[in-house]
Amino acid sequence: MATVAARPWDRFWFVRWPVCGLVVLLLLASCQGRAPSDTGEQSGRVGVAYSIPMRCQDGKSTAHTPPSYEAVLGIVALPVGGRPDDVLPTTETGHADPALRLFASVDLLVKRGAGGRFTIQVPPSLYDRVAVGWGYEQAPTHRYEGYACAAFFEDGGEWLGFSGGIWVTDPECVTVIVRSEDGRSETVHVGVGTPC
């Protein structure tokens, strides 16, 4: 009976199987999808997500906007403008990322019947020093995605308020862009620690 000559690599059988297992694990890891949308896609800064969606259940129905607030595109309301009383006070956060050094608390209001989706976008030129965020987790992001949330308005409520605010490196007049689902957009300025 003919014998089969031993192949050189047969002597290393104890190495082949762990190596094969490692290759399989690496292939599986590379096939994994992106993180779920509710955690956002990382923007390259520590602790700042590129995009985070709004959760309607985090809002609180209210009948009126505060005096310093102005409606933007008839969809949302923020304290925009250049009046001294529109300046938002800031507090130190102690965060390691310089872009999140200061925080100004400000609610985002969404109007009843606004319909569709909207986004509040930080311009890319400000990514290194500005972030925004609203909702239960109030996680900082550069692009906040909102919805009409019609089912969450109480009787008499014209606005749905979401707690949160704006992070900055230093006090400045912050620029954000509000965009609607139908293609409209408006650039607004919010005084964070300093007037616009």
* Integer Cα distance of 139 and 166 in angstroms: 10
Rounded to 5°, angle at Cα 134 from 131 and 136: 130
DSSP state at residue 47:
T
- Please provide residue 9's backbone torsions phi and psi, each rounded to the nearest 5 degrees: -80, -10
Query: How do residues 149-159 score in pLDDT, each as one tens digit?
Result: 766 666 667 88
Residue range 86-126, pLDDT digits in tens:
789 999 998 888 889 999 999 999 887 776 789 999 999 99
Identify the residue whose tokens are 């700042």: 48
| DSSP sequence for 137-151 | S---BSEEEEE--GG
- pTM over 0.75, yes/no: no
H-helix segments, the chain: 13-31
